[in-house]
Amino acid sequence: MKLSDIKNIQKINSSIILAKIIDTKGSVPREKNVFMVISSENQFGTIGGGEFEFRVTKESLKLLKIKDKYNDTFQYSLGPSLGQCCGGYIKVKLIKFDNGLKLLEKFDLKNEIINQNQNLYIFGAGHVSNALTNKLDGVGFNIFVIDSREEYLKKIKYQYANKVLAKNPEIIIQNSPSESYFIVLTHSHKLDFDICSNILKKNNFNFFGLIGSQTKKIKFRKRLKDSGFKENLINKMECPIGIDSIDGKEPDVIAISIIARLLEVKTLIIKKEERQLKLVKA
């Protein structure tokens, strides 16, 4: 679900359903605690799509019409009967509320989304940053845009971006949680280098990308090495940033390429954690 969905849910004055996955086994399209919201006219979020989600939506619409019934629970085997080949099992709970505000009073969906997301720090509030933030809603990141120029921060259109006016961005880096994601695309090579140095000093992140050309990469790597950073640490810096197969200099194209790379890294980390968990259980 997107953070931008919350305002739309608030506006719903009729009965509304929260559908939440409360248990899973085996291979499933979405994990436990994922939720979606269904009203008579709208759906927000997804719990996996396909025939499974179609049936959950159908049961939700039935529940909306039953006056004195406020919850129900359903179990689904994701096999041939649903036209799905996952082979797993999902248990879903439906909870009905009189309206969107009542739902949000009981379940703080905004904080649930924020707690499930990971932190993404974008240094620089220029054209690429604006294009990037406008496309990030719903892909699993809490967005922080950092710049020393107030007038540029005001131009960031995405309302759920945390805009941080900072003359000393190293303080933000030092206080960021472990396993954060960092993107550096400021207006100044000097500022870029200072930020890069501080990120490498922290050395506890999931991703660190620097916008720039191969020439910039070579120059920055040399300067970082001359500053005492080990090569294996410098190798954690990705420059140019984005997917190699996506080419283009337009801000929107660069933004899509960066998001694709962020999601690729995020997926690789999740799969690695899943493999490690299986080894522990074995």
93/24 same-domain check:
yes
Q: Taking 70 as the threshold, does the pLDDT of residue 197 lie above it?
A: yes
Tell me whether residue 276 is in a domain. no
Contact 77, 86 (CB under 8 A): no
Q: The tokens of 96 are what? A: 């009905």
Sign of CA dihedral 120, 124, 125, 127: negative
247/264 same-domain check:
yes
Collapsed DSSP state (helix, strand, coil) of residue 100:
helix
Collapsed DSSP state (helix, strand, coil) of residue 89:
strand
Q: Note the pLDDT tens digit of each residue in 117-163.
A: 999 999 999 999 999 999 999 999 999 999 999 999 999 999 899 99
- The identity of residue 79, as a single letter, is G
Q: Which domain holds residue 129?
A: 117-271
Domain boundary among 67, 92, 112: 112
104/179 same-domain check:
no
CATH number reported for the structural domain that contains residue 168 in this entry:
3.40.50.720
Tell me whether residue 158 is in a domain. yes
- 276, 183, 191: which is closest to 237 by C-alpha? 183
Residue 87 banded pLDDT, cuts 50, 70, 90? low
Q: What pLDDT, on a 0 to 100 scale, did the predictor assign at position 83?
A: 59
Tell me whether residue 125 is in a domain. yes
Query: How many structural domains is the chain composed of?
Result: 2
Domain boundary among 86, 112, 138: 112
50/157 same-domain check:
no
Average pLDDT score, the chain? 92
3-state secondary structure 29-76: CCCCCCEEEECCCCEECCCCCHHHHHHHHHHHHHHHHCCCCCEEEEEE
Rg (CA), the chain: 22
Domain boundary among 96, 112, 128: 112
154/32 same-domain check:
no
Predicted structure pTM score:
0.87
Region 223-230 average pLDDT:
97
Q: The tokens of 110 are what? A: 């905004």
93/183 same-domain check:
no
Distance CA 265, CA 176 (A): 19
